[in-house]
Amino acid sequence: MSATFEVQGFVKRGFEAVRDEFTKNFEERGELGAAFAAVMDGEPIIDLWGGVADRGSGRRWGPGTLQIIFSGSKGLVSMCILLLLERQQLDLDQPVARYWPEFAASGKEGVRVRDILGHTARLPGIETALSWQQATDDHMVAGLLAVQAQSEDPRAPTAYHSLTFGWLCGELLRRVDGRSVGRFFADEFAKPLDLDVWIGLPSELEPRVSTVELAQDWGTGRPISPEDLASDPLARAVANPVRYSPPDEFPWNEASWHIAEVPAANAIGTARSIARLYGNLHQILSPETLTFARRPLSTREDLLNRRWSSFGVGFQLQTDELALGPPGDAFGHCGAGGSKHGYWPMQRVGFSYAMNLLYADHTADSRGADLLGALYSALEVATP
């Protein structure tokens, strides 16, 4: 293995197979730069990193490298909403307009909080064309969603709210609490647990952020094709703003995108801290709330994205795909391109796999799955 891809960090005795799989990701599966961490009973058992954080400069991935986690961000937003529910400041069965009166416009007075959290609000995309620069203004986007009518497309009730989930939850939280979702997460989770994770990155930390690249297979086999974007209004709304067409429409490496709050997609952190976050949620949320978090709000076939999905109170839950590893009771959230972040309740393990080379979601990318499989097997041996 080239020194460029040297794997560093540690694994607890008995978890050496996880290090082997992490190494194979570089040697056999095309990994560029990545980190993988796991926490059991609140204590670290795995903390690995390696590869290249920025190909252009040759900067290596280090212990403090920060990685954007795409839709893994939704897990962080879900934690914030759960804390409001626990404090009885929010009720799943109340109309969103009770907390956000302007949201009742265009016939949305009956949309409930649970509809937003379960991706069933029929608002899967922004219908007003936006640039990615405009999408960094969360106040403006929330205003657009407040006046937008629900989609009448028959696929809309099952369609994943890829970006609108974050703006809807973020504005709901702001109306209830007064803080932005990024400020709320920092105050209530990141600071108490001493985490390197942000929704809205402090600008002075920008030099620590890795550079995202798209693998050569990106765009192949994706459920929403370029032809769909040209002819399908629902697909076009969900993909708005365009975010995966470098160089002009690719915000992921832009400092102005990093420092903004795009709650569904732009959280940035270390795998070490994200694993600690999931592994120590019991310090912030009650056992009853964590059990409630895994209760399915919506399980269905997403007719737009052509895959099965299941959501609890914002968290992604398991389907037959087992995207969050072998345990069926896992919860958390995956991110575009292959990252995986979550918690295994029976094993009491929080985990995070973060990387900067994005593979198409519908291709045979086994990097995260092989790491989680090795972790699960090691746990079975360690705790028979």
DSSP states of 311-346: ESSSSEE--TT-TT-S-TT-EEEE-GGG-EEEEETT
For residue 1, the model assigns a pLDDT of 42
How far apart CA 260 and CA 119 sit, in angstroms, is: 23
Q: Which amino acid is at 300?
A: R
Identify the sign of the CA torsion 358, 360, 362, 365.
negative
Task: Return the pLDDT at 5.
Answer: 78
| CATH class (in words) of the domain with range 3-382 | alpha beta
Calculate ∠ Cα 338-369-206, nearest 5°. 35
Pairing mode of beta strands 268-269, 8-11? unpaired
Instruction: Decide: pTM greater than 0.85.
Output: yes
Distance (Å, rounded) from C-alpha 166 to C-alpha 142? Answer: 10
- CB 89 within 8 Å of CB 175: no
Can you tell me which residue has the tokens 């961490």?
37
pLDDT of residue 181: 98
Spatial distance between the Cα atoms of 330 and 293, rounded to a whole number of angstroms: 11
SS3 33: strand
Structural domain boundaries of the chain? 3-382
Task: Please work out, in degrees rounded to the nearest 5, the angle formed at the alpha carbon of residue 66 by the alpha carbons of 65 and 68.
Answer: 145
| Sheet (strand 197-198) strand order | 67-68, 268-269, 197-198
Q: How many CB atoms lie within 10 A of CB 334?
A: 23
Tens-level pLDDT at each residue, the chain (384 residues): 445 678 999 999 999 999 999 999 999 999 999 999 999 999 999 999 999 999 999 999 999 999 999 999 999 999 999 999 999 999 999 999 999 999 999 999 999 999 999 999 999 999 999 999 999 999 999 999 999 999 999 999 999 999 999 999 999 999 999 999 999 999 999 999 999 999 999 999 999 999 999 998 886 656 666 666 678 999 999 999 999 888 788 999 999 999 999 999 999 999 999 999 999 999 999 999 999 999 999 999 999 988 999 999 999 999 999 999 999 999 999 999 999 999 999 999 999 999 999 998 766 799 999 999 999 999 998 765
Q: Among all chains, which residue has been given the structure tokens 């429409």?
A: 249
User: Please, is 26 exposed, middle or buried when counting C-beta atoms within 10 Å of its C-beta (0-12, 13-18, 19+)?
Assistant: buried
Alpha-carbon span 219 to 241, nearest angstrom: 16
